[in-house]
């Protein structure tokens, strides 16, 4: 397992993908940090602000998860689908015929890199948002326990998104299909579904267990919440369970279907 | 000398839906020899090799390396070096490609450099594989297979894309492996490509075994050809007609098929025909190969 993990880490780090994704994520999240902090702290003509104090800080910092999660998700998805796209899965299985070990090592390696993505994402959003919060708002609140919790949980959630990407990629081996699915779901299907389902009382329970909503529940705030049209959220532990359930279900299904078949 | 395990294929069968790609195939690959695994395109060679290396599961029968399935060995890539279709991530450098697989094979970076040196890719170690020619990819595939200094070497169409020097180099490398006692299995769809490399041949067509023997026995299946030139062409023609030999006119003489030089010489001597030239033609194994594999074209 150690050897397999080492192999998978080398795979991740020996192509340009990871730092391109990381670089784009940094630029994007710094920008989002600035925009969020600006829009929340600016005074409207009647002299009020949308949000102040620690609420504003939490809303800004938590947008790491709401907006940045597509990067670790893509990292994980591409980590697996690239093996099929470039047919290196053959050589991979020649050196590691045990497919349980393969899935476990790929998941672990991506989790580790996902944590790095999480740390960098949090630093980026803070770098973008904190200065404005200090200057226009009531402060950066970087030592406030609520803020610290948001920052630390954001790191963890980003890593879980990376793992979710791996199991998704293990299941959907076609790289193009997998990327389109990730982008369509995260950028289009889920946001609309959350709004639509959240608007109907009977269905708001379904909206809560969508992966993005579950992640928001873990972090404890969301971009949706910042603008006041969020439905009820799961408790923090509920969000964690739902996210892990996605990982386990996708992982088990992938292991029993795609990963059981002959590679071709 | 290393004591390499044999590869044994026993009643191996693989069906894809209604298509039987490999059909009740049985053969053994002995250590210390180079075995050529031959058959036309689509005859089931690669499917067989994929089952031997655990990438595909047999529908029936089994393929063993040293008495066990490939995947049951604790570190299969240390025992068996395999190069099937040469596949690489185009964005990864040649060196990193080897380093990715090195941990499970149990070798360090130094060994990766050694291998690049061996296959002549050392100057391109840091280059991304995306820019490599087919021949360079083939060499990198071989380097990957040989990372663990394996006792068993399995190569699928290794000569593809190699230039003539590369083919000669590959030949001597494989000969050296066999001389060291390793088990070497090399597939090809062209017999001529491996004719000078292999000790044994396993010929399949349509997934079925059609011939397995030392290469020499295959030579004996070939039709002999004898070129003969006589002082008096008329008397030679009469002799050919009398014996019922199959003759074809060729530059100053005749080419006789299905007759050895010994028979022609004896016949001419008995008939008192003065010969000016009597030559054994080099046996064309390719024809034997074509005949063997074409026999299977009839529907079964």
Provide the ipTM: 0.89
Instruction: Out of A3, A86, A97, name the one closest to residue B71 (CB).
Output: A97
Residue A76 pLDDT exceeds 80: yes
CATH superfamily name and code, B7-218: P-loop containing nucleotide triphosphate hydrolases (3.40.50.300)
Residue A67 pLDDT exceeds 80: yes
Backbone dihedral region of A230: left (phi > 0), alpha (psi from -120 to 50 degrees) or beta? beta
Alpha carbon B73 to chain centroid distance? 26
Cβ of A91 within 8 Å of Cβ of B105? The answer is: no
**Using 50, 70 and 90 to split pLDDT, how confident is the model at A99?**
very high
Domain locations in chain B as residue ranges: 7-218, 225-282
Residue A206 pLDDT exceeds 90: no
- Strand B246-250 and strand B253-257: the pairing is antiparallel
Q: CA B161, A264, B98: angle at the middle one, nearest 5?
A: 55
Q: What is the chain B residue with the closest CA to A92?
A: B101
Residue A97 pLDDT exceeds 60: yes
- Contact between A40 and A50 (Cβ < 8 Å): yes
Chain A and chain B share a number of CB contacts under 8 A equal to 72
- Report the pLDDT value the prediction gives residue A229, as an integer from 0 to 100: 46
Alpha carbon A219 to chain centroid distance? 11
Q: What would the mean pLDDT of A194-210 be, rounded to a whole number?
A: 83
Instruction: Out of B70, B77, B87, name the one closest to residue A88 (CB).
Output: B87
Residue listed under structure tokens 């015929």: A97
* Architecture of the CATH domain B225-282: 2-Layer Sandwich (3.30)
- Report the pLDDT value the prediction gives residue B216, as an integer from 0 to 100: 85
Q: What is the chain A residue with the closest CA to B47?
A: A264
Q: Which of B100, B106, B126, B152 to mutate to test the interface with A (most CBs of A within 10 A)?
A: B100
Window 152-191 of A: residues touching B by CB (8 A cutoff) are none
Query: B263-283, pLDDT tens digit by residue?
Result: 899 999 998 999 999 988 877
Angstrom CA distances, A30 to A70, A116, A132, A156, B94, stand at 15, 16, 12, 19, 36
- Contact between A38 and A56 (Cβ < 8 Å): no
Query: A211-227, pLDDT tens digit by residue?
Result: 988 998 898 865 555 44
Question: How many C-beta atoms surround the C-beta of residue B294 within 10 A?
Answer: 12
**Using 50, 70 and 90 to split pLDDT, how confident is the model at A233?**
confident
**Using 50, 70 and 90 to split pLDDT, how confident is the model at B2?**
low
Residue B298 pLDDT exceeds 50: no
- Strand B183-188 and strand B200-205: the pairing is unpaired
Q: What would the mean pLDDT of B220-236 be, rounded to a whole number?
A: 86
| Percentage of residues of chain A with pLDDT beyond 90 | 59
Instruction: Out of A14, A17, A96, name the one closest to residue B104 (CB).
Output: A96
- Report the pLDDT value the prediction gives residue B295, as an integer from 0 to 100: 58
Question: Chain A closest CA to B23's CA: distance in Å?
Answer: 18
Q: What would the mean pLDDT of B155-174 be, rounded to a whole number?
A: 91
Cβ of A86 within 8 Å of Cβ of B90? The answer is: yes
- Report the pLDDT value the prediction gives residue A5, as an integer from 0 to 100: 97
Cβ of A95 within 8 Å of Cβ of B88? The answer is: no
- Listed in sequence order, the DSSP H helices in A86-222 are 89-95, 99-135, 145-171, 175-184, 190-199, 204-208, 211-219
Put simply, whether A260 touches B (Cβ < 8 Å) is no
- Report the pLDDT value the prediction gives residue A222, as an integer from 0 to 100: 57
Domain locations in chain A as residue ranges: 2-256
Q: What ranges make up the beta strands (E) of A21-142?
A: none
Q: What is the chain A residue with the closest CA to B95?
A: A14
- Report the pLDDT value the prediction gives residue A2, as an integer from 0 to 100: 92
């Amino acid at each position: 397992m150690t050897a397999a993990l080492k192999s998978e880490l080398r795979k991740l780090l020996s192509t340009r993908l990871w730092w391109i994704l990381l670089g784009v994520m940094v630029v994007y999240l710094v920008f989002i940090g600035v925009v969020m902090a600006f829009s929340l702290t600016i005074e409207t003509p009647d002299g009020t602000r949308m949000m102040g104090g620690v609420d504003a800080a939490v809303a800004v910092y938590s947008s790491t998860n709401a907006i940045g999660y597509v990067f670790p998700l893509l990292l994980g998805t591409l980590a697996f689908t690239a093996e099929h796209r470039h047919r290196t899965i053959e050589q991979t299985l020649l050196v590691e015929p045990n497919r349980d070990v393969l899935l476990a090592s790929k998941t672990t390696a991506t989790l580790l890199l996902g944590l790095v993505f999480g740390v960098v994402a949090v630093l980026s959003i803070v770098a973008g948002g904190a200065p404005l919060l200090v200057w226009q708002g009531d402060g950066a609140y970087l030592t406030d326990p609520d803020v610290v919790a948001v920052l630390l949980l954001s790191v963890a959630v980003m890593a879980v998104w990376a793992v979710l990407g791996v199991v998704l990629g293990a299941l959907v081996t076609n790289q193009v299909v997998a990327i389109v699915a990730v982008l369509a779901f995260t950028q289009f299907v889920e946001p609309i579904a959350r709004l639509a389902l959240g608007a109907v009382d009977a269905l708001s329970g379904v909206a809560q267990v969508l992966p993005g909503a579950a992640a928001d529940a873990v972090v404890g705030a969301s971009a949706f919440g910042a603008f006041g049209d969020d439905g009820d959220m799961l408790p923090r532990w509920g969000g964690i369970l739902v996210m892990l359930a996605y990982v386990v279900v996708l992982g088990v299904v992938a292991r029993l279907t795609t990963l059981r078949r002959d590679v071709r | 000398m290393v004591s390499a395990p044999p590869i044994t294929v026993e009643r191996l069968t693989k069906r894809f839906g209604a298509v039987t790609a490999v059909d009740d195939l049985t053969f053994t690959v002995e250590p210390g020899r180079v075995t050529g695994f031959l058959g036309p395109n689509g005859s089931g060679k690669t499917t067989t090799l994929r089952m031997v290396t655990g990438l595909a599961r047999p529908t029936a029968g089994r393929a063993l390396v040293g008495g066990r399935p490939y995947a049951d060995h604790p570190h299969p890539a240390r025992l068996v070096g395999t190069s099937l279709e040469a596949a690489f991530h185009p964005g990864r450098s040649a060196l990193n490609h080897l380093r990715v697989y090195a941990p499970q094979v149990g070798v360090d970076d130094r060994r990766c450099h050694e291998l690049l040196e061996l296959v002549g890719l050392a100057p391109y170690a840091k280059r991304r594989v995306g820019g490599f020619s087919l021949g360079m990819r083939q060499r990198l595939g071989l380097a990957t297979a040989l990372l663990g200094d394996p006792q068993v070497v399995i190569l699928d169409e290794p000569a593809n894309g190699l230039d003539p020097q590369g083919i000669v180099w590959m030949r001597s490398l494989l000969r050296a492996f066999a001389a060291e006692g390793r088990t070497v299995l090399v597939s090809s769809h062209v017999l001529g490509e491996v004719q000078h490399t292999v000790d044994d041949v396993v010929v399949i067509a349509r997934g079925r075994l059609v011939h397995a023997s030392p290469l020499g026995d295959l030579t004996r299946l070939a039709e002999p050809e004898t070129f003969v030139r006589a002082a008096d062409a008329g008397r030679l023609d009469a002799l050919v007609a009398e014996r019922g030999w199959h003759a074809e006119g060729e530059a100053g003489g005749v080419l006789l098929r299905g007759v050895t030089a010994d028979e022609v010489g004896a016949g001419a001597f008995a008939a008192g025909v003065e010969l000016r030239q009597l030559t054994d033609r080099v046996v064309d194994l390719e024809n034997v190969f074509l005949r063997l594999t074409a026999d299977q074209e009839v529907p079964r």
